[in-house]
Structure 1
Amino acid sequence: MGPDLWNANYDELLEIPLPKQVQLTGFADDVAATIVADSAEETELLVWSTIDTVEDWLEQHRLKLAKQKTEMVVLTRQKRFPKPFKVDIGETTLTSTRALRYLGVMIDDKLSFREHLESACIRASKTVSSLSRFLTNTIGPRTKKRRVLLEVVHSILLYGAEIWADILKQKTYRRKMAAVQRRGALRVTCAYRTVSEAPVLVIAGAAPIDLLAFERAKLYNAKMNGDNSNEARARLKKETLCEWQNRWTSGEAGRWTERLIPDISVWLSRKHGETDFYLNQLLTGHDQFNAYLFKMSLHPTPTCKYCPDKIDDAEHTFFECDRWKDYRSSTEEIIGARLSPRAW
């Protein structure tokens, strides 16, 4: 009953009389004071008043304010407002910082959430690096288990997305997060690191990170407006998939993969088959194909060894090359259909 007794006792702190410009918000034993003022002088007076009132209540309940852990950030567009802003509280000087962390979210003085995104990308990158040590291309967990590990990366990147999702409309911020997500998706699909973002996300079955953030923000707003959470969640997932499909169809990257997987919903809802290192060579076209090796400056010509007048790419190797005709014929006999990119 410890947490319940603590909440019952500590809840009184949030109801103590304070100036109307001050609002207290509590979580566990952390309290955030939001103060609205028109000048630096008024701000200083309100900070003094708030801390004195809170400190008096804590002393009455045999508690103590940790002034050395108290942080302050000033949100203002006034050019004449002193930066950093300092307030002397007894023997302690409280100095405003450019950003502070509250409940896991970095709140900066411009409310741009740039520091939060950079911090999230750094932590997620370390997670991806750790996963990469045992998620090698040819051995390790199968695709379904790898997708679960990718969700760990998503949970780090999308923490608090309900309040900062809109900033991903700026390409700079989106690219930073997308780069980390792409690295995680490469480990899920066992694909070459040269595969671009769009195709590797489709193969991994992971929607782009900005669409996932927008979906979370919309779901939060729907709950605040009283919408049924299950219906709202289903509707928003459908909207995310629709936007993802539009990007996939109209994009420039991964056109060979798009020929094989034109409909994302069909690919995601399939009940059979898992991708691996070898299958992804067909799906991405990145492997020991002369056309790819020539592009990477690793082979003198892009033509096929067995068909000198043909470009040796994934389509030629799997669907046209005479060298593999017998394998292709036996496969077509088993499935009862002719192999072609659009038949997948």
Structure 2
Amino acid sequence: MNNFQYARATDVADAIRLLAAGPGAKLIAGGTNLIDLMKENVERPSRLIDISRLPLRKVEETPDGSLRIGALVPNSDLAYHPLIEQRYPLLASAILAGASAQLRNMASVGGNLMQRTRCAYFYDTATPCNKRHPGSGCSAMDGLNRNHGILGTSAACIATNPSDMSVALAALDALVHIAGPSGERTIALTDLHRLPGDKPHVDTNLGTGEIITGIELPPRGFAQNYSYLKIRDRMSYAFALVSVAAALELEGNAISGARVAVGGVAHKPWRSLEAEATLRGQAATPDHFSHAADLLLQGATARSHNGFKVELARRAIVRTLTQAANATPQSQAHKKIA
């Protein structure tokens, strides 16, 4: 691990100032991902800016019925918060599907959104990786790419986003509150993470000196018909091969509203507004769910080891939508798939 300076931010404005002061500065809160990357010499920050004491730990209702979540709320606190359990159980379920209880106690909401890919080649500094060193190449292209992306990939990178929480937030149409040198702004969660393109080393659309201050959930929470299904190699403490967040509004057996986001398949949570639109007005049947899955997976590109993900994702989407329609969400405590 390289030498670095340490500074503790006193407020959001101070954190922005410290972050903008040097290109090698990094924010640290729970530190569960950044410290790992520093140990492996993947990240070599010149300065760590501790934001753990900033006043960003509240979960508050807004006048319009939305819910504002501070960026430093621990994942465990959020998953078990009464308002989340009651109004946004899809988010609670996704959080509980990720990591371990100990890590969830440390991990913050903002840190979860900013965690970097778990591609083994990204972590192995002895191999070429465009995310670590732009222009050096992508070892996963012809290497062991079983866990890698099938959607939105590029010739430069096929890594995937590891966050479970982001998949549920994408399905819920969450907003991200950002502060920076030019003031405050808000973007859709689906616009936070980038596809790799020719700049895979740039994970998000945050500008220089910008930080996430909170997440906003709209009043509509899909509290009745929802499910989060995570398919992985082992049933705990593993990253998703494929995950699906599904939320439906039903009038009888007819779908009046639908949201589907898929994880483990791309550089960001994957949604298709076209697929969701085809479900509206249709009966909640496997055939209609299968058609939506086909639309979601349009353009999927398999590599030498991950072709199985295409069919796995299609089946997972159908299964998760069926669970949501039946109001039998996947249990994260009992790992057997419903």
* TM-score, normalization by structure 1: 0.22
Higher Cα radius of gyration:
1
Structure with more helix by fraction: 1
TM-score by length of 2: 0.23
